[in-house]
Amino acid sequence: MNTEEMASLYGIPVWKRLRMYRNPVRMLFSAGVWASAWYLFSSMVVCTVLFCVITSITVTSTALVIVWAGLPLLIGTAYFIRGCAAMERGRARAVVPDGLPPMPPMDDAEGFFATLRASWRSRVTKRGLVYFSVLYVPLFVLDTVVWVVWVVFLAGVTVPIWYRYIPRTFDGRHMHGLEYGYFPNGPHGKDAIGFWIGSDLSAAVAAAAALVLLIAWNYVLVATARVHVSAVRATVVGRDPMAAARRVLDSPGPLSTPAGR
């Protein structure tokens, strides 16, 4: 039994797309890096919208419970959270092509109050509310910082193309270039601190440094995408207590379930 089969047997995530290659050049051109960048960027936008909407309707429907008008809204909110959780599972396919485990179904209920209880006793509803509200802030901060730094390094690689089009003014003198630091009196003036990009040579040096940093930061980017998907897996999807037994039965061996049964 190989490593992937052992990981699947014990429920350990197998990151087929989000692989950490030892070769940094191969890592740079791998699909996982660019899929991670897209996933984190879309998470910043989508999760921000969902945080605002879910928080607003949850607070509003809870406040209106005292006049009974909030009860139908609570049912609608629960189903909306479940729909958002299903959408998160779909978005995760950008980095986990095999998809996440299926969500447990909601219990059947007849009648208004039975439906209300079933909708909010659902594990998907409660964990989805935690994911879209409580975990939103730390995940948003983590995704934003990592993604912005990655974009800065990526833009730094292209500095030789556009540095000459950045205008700068020092003591009435007009120059073109890019500054990393503090230059109150110009790049060659007094109290200058930092690195000034004003020639092709300095731009090439900056691009080389940015490329090295980008190659190293790719591992941080992919690791962050793994963290975000793991948060979705742990909260929105949850765990099946019988999953290990099912994997044993489905795997080849004396306990495997015969086909067609």
Question: Is 258 within a domain?
Answer: no
What percent of the chain is helix, strand and coil (3-state, nearest 5)? 65, 5, 30
pTM of the model: 0.79
Q: Which residues pair with 195 in a beta bridge?
A: 180
Question: Is 246 within a domain?
Answer: no
Question: Is 19 within a domain?
Answer: yes
Question: Is 252 within a domain?
Answer: no
The alpha carbon of 104 is separated from its chain's Cα centroid by a whole number of angstroms, namely 23
Residues 6+ away with beta carbon under 8 Å from 24: 215, 216, 218
pLDDT at 7 over 50: no
Q: Give the domain range for residue 108.
A: 13-240
Question: Is 259 within a domain?
Answer: no
For residue 180, which phi and psi values (nearest 5 degrees)?
Answer: -120, 90
Closest CA relative to residue 91, chosen from 135, 55, 44, 54: 44
Residue 137 has a pLDDT of: 95
Question: Is 146 within a domain?
Answer: yes
The total number of structural domains that make up the chain:
1
Residue 118 has a pLDDT of: 87
For residue 16, which phi and psi values (nearest 5 degrees)?
Answer: -70, -40
Question: Is 97 within a domain?
Answer: yes
pLDDT band of 239, cuts 50, 70, 90: low
Residues 6+ away with beta carbon under 8 Å from 70: 60, 61, 62, 63, 64
Q: What is the pLDDT of residues 185-210, one digit of tens each?
A: 667 767 678 787 878 888 899 999 99
Q: What is the pLDDT of residues 18-62, one digit of tens each?
A: 888 999 999 999 999 999 999 999 999 999 999 999 999 999 998
Top-confidence range, 131-135, 144-148, 173-177: 144-148
pLDDT at 73 over 50: yes
